[in-house]
A and B are shown apart, each in its own frame.
Chain A
């Protein structure tokens, strides 16, 4: 069971790096979607006995993160009429290297954390830390609003991974609530992106630092 789970977390961590290295927005959205689906499968792998609630949450996570949110983002991208994040604040090669260093740091840091004995061997805690770090890096390092939303999604995926550590003590209803919040947030951001595009003729968030009447 731990092996299968570690494989999935490793896949999610690999996808983090792909997200840091891809310059095209459609592929970035695709990466965030695939990572969401991978995360959705995890509760099923972790729970050996069949539970309706777990299956429901897994299916809902996969549908939301894999289909609904990417569809919203693609729509926002089409209306804004851009498909590349040119000249990001942190270049692609540096951000890839920083992301990899952060991933190694996350593995080392997770070893120091006082985890439960059953979580010592799993990659969940390092994976969560690495995803949060990747999300932050995308948020500060990219200039277009849509890639920053993808960074936000990956950051949330990291928090979800942390949540999986507590899967036996938190009710899955909490996860469902977070999922709903996330979808609404992306929905709102989709509208905001449209507004930014109309007001500024660009999605470069660096232009949003000046106050105007």
Chain B
């Protein structure tokens, strides 16, 4: 019974806190630009509005279109439940759960791309192609980062991997993971979440045909993925396991907030990269993680 209650609370935290993060990022962007900006809770209003609306479906779309969208949202939520939250731990921990986390995220991406292809629009097929071609590079980086953490802690379960700090290579790992966070969540140097210019979009292209509750699921899933990556980054870099519980929770929240502010600043100060320069940046992130892995290896050997 207690475990049921615990999972309910955990679900509520993930579901309710996630849409706050894009709000913070937008506030930071507005503040840098000297505007007042949308309210902090804008995404909640948007989600509520979208939920009440009807769905317009492409005539080509099979039931798989809505199913894939729902699948992708559930996959992100399941991945989020696997991630420990500082002192709170995780409700489900087993050897190798980190692999499940990586593959659930991949499954979510597969479903989004599948739903985009389902509409039969050539334009959305192009967006799906862009998305997966960057994902190949980003995935190499994130698997290397996971490998680093696993070598560092000599363990394959997330709870044990994320408790200690990343050691000497922490700065390298932080830079690499932050770049991956920007790429995975379609933030500015890779993709502009605000643009609706056809030639520059990646993620926005794929969801053009979603409307009403389906679009709400996509938006909410994206916000949860952002929160997931921020929490992963903070816990991978900072030694939360060595702090007392209250302090660790505070550090985790502060860290996630700092990541959101960092994303907002990057987004205000950088321009979107040209498509052909993106692989270079993702390769850099991969190399940063590789060097963090080497440092972890050397530290482990000595």
Q: Which stretch in A73-81, A90-98, A165-173 binds the other chain?
A: A90-98
Whether the pair A21, B294 counts as a contact (CB closer than 8 A) is: no
Does B284 belong to the interface (CB within 8 Å)?
yes
Q: Residues of A contacting B283 with CB < 8 Å?
A: 21, 93, 96-97
Instruction: Pick the contact of B280: A96, A100, A104 (CB < 8 A).
Output: A96
Report B135-157 residues with CB < 8 Å from chain A CB. Answer: none
A68, B165: Cα distance in complex, Å: 43
Q: Return the chain B residue nearest A103 by Cβ.
A: B291
Q: Return the chain A residue nearest B282 by Cβ.
A: A93
Whether the pair B287, A17 counts as a contact (CB closer than 8 A) is: yes
Does A107 belong to the interface (CB within 8 Å)?
yes
Q: Residues of B contacting A93 with CB < 8 Å?
A: 279-280, 283
The interface on chain A, measured as residues whose beta carbon lies within 8 A of the other chain's beta carbons, has a size of 9
Whether the pair B279, A100 counts as a contact (CB closer than 8 A) is: no
The interface on chain B, measured as residues whose beta carbon lies within 8 A of the other chain's beta carbons, has a size of 8
Q: Return the chain B residue nearest A104 by Cβ.
A: B294
Q: Residues of B contacting A92 with CB < 8 Å?
A: 280
A21, B179: Cα distance in complex, Å: 16
A97, B291: Cα distance in complex, Å: 12
Q: Residues of B contacting A17 with CB < 8 Å?
A: 284, 287
A107, B290: Cα distance in complex, Å: 14
State how many angstroms separate the Cβ of B299 from the closest Cβ of chain A. 13
Whether the pair B280, A21 counts as a contact (CB closer than 8 A) is: yes
State how many angstroms separate the Cβ of B194 from the closest Cβ of chain A. 27
Whether the pair A96, B294 counts as a contact (CB closer than 8 A) is: no
Q: Return the chain B residue nearest A17 by Cβ.
A: B287
Q: Residues of B contacting A96 with CB < 8 Å?
A: 280, 283-284, 287
Report B257-287 residues with CB < 8 Å from chain A CB. Answer: 279-280, 283-284, 287
Q: Residues of B contacting A104 with CB < 8 Å?
A: 294
State how many angstroms separate the Cβ of B195 from the closest Cβ of chain A. 24
A92, B274: Cα distance in complex, Å: 14
A21, B294: Cα distance in complex, Å: 20
Q: Return the chain A residue nearest B284 by Cβ.
A: A21
State how many angstroms separate the Cβ of B276 from the closest Cβ of chain A. 10
A93, B140: Cα distance in complex, Å: 15
Residue-wise interface mask of A (1-43) relative to B, using a CB-CB cutoff of 8 A (1 in contact, 0 not): 0000000000000000100010000000000000000000000
Besides A92-B280, A93-B280, 14 other A-B contacts (C-beta < 8 A)? A17-B284, A17-B287, A21-B283, A21-B284, A96-B280, A96-B283, A96-B284, A96-B287, A97-B283, A100-B287, A100-B290, A100-B291, A104-B294, A107-B294
Which A residues are within 8 Å of any B CB, using their own CB? 17, 21, 92-93, 96-97, 100, 104, 107
| Sample (15) of A-B pairs whose CB atoms are under 8 Å apart | A17-B284, A17-B287, A21-B283, A21-B284, A92-B280, A93-B279, A93-B283, A96-B280, A96-B284, A96-B287, A97-B287, A100-B287, A100-B290, A100-B291, A104-B294
Which B residues are within 8 Å of any A CB, using their own CB? 279-280, 283-284, 287, 290-291, 294
